Homo-oligomer: A and B are copies of this chain.
Amino acid sequence: MAGSTLSSIDRRLVRRIRAAIGDAPVAISLGNSNSDGPAGANPVARVHIADRKTLMKLVLDPEVGFGDAYMTGRITINGDLVRLLELVLESMQKAGSEGWYARLRSGLLRITQPNSLRGSARNIHHHYDVPTDFYKLWLDSRLVYTCAYFPTPSATLEDAQIAKMDHVCRKLCLQPGEAVVETGCGWGALALHMARHYGVTVRAFNVSKEQIAFARQRAQAEGLAHRVEFIHDDYRNVSGRFDAFVSVGMLEHVGQEHYADLARVIHRSIGDSGRGLLHFIGRNRPHPFSSWIKMRIFPGAYAPALSQVMPMFEPWNFSVQDVENIGRHYASTLEHWLARFEGGVDRITEMFGAEFVRAWRLYLAGSLASFRISTLQLFQVVFAGSQCQNIPWTRQHLYARADLAQKEQKWFVATSSS
Binding site for B on A (CB under 8 A): 86, 90, 149-153, 284-286, 305-307, 310-311, 313-315, 317-325, 327-328, 331, 372-374, 377, 379, 386, 391, 393-396, 398-399, 413, 415-417
Contact = CB atoms under 8 A, between A and B. Distances in A.
B307 A311 contact: yes
A34 B306 CA distance: 55
11 contacts: A151-B396, A152-B393, A284-B317, A284-B318, A285-B314, A305-B310, A323-B323, A328-B391, A328-B413, A395-B398, A398-B399
B391 A395 contact: no
A328 B321 CA distance: 11
Copies of the polypeptide in the assembly: 2
A109 to B, nearest CB: 23
A153 B415 CA distance: 12
- Interface residues of A, dominant DSSP: mixed
Given A284-B317, A319-B325, A374 B307 contact: no
Contact of A307 (B150, B314, B372, B416): B314
A393 B328 contact: yes
A86 B415 CA distance: 13
A308 to B, nearest CB: 9
Nearest to A313: B284
A334 to B, nearest CB: 11
Given A153-B393, A153-B413, A331-B416, A306 B320 contact: yes
Interface centre among A150, A151, A415 (most CB of B within 10 A): A415
Nearest to A323: B323
A372 B394 CA distance: 16
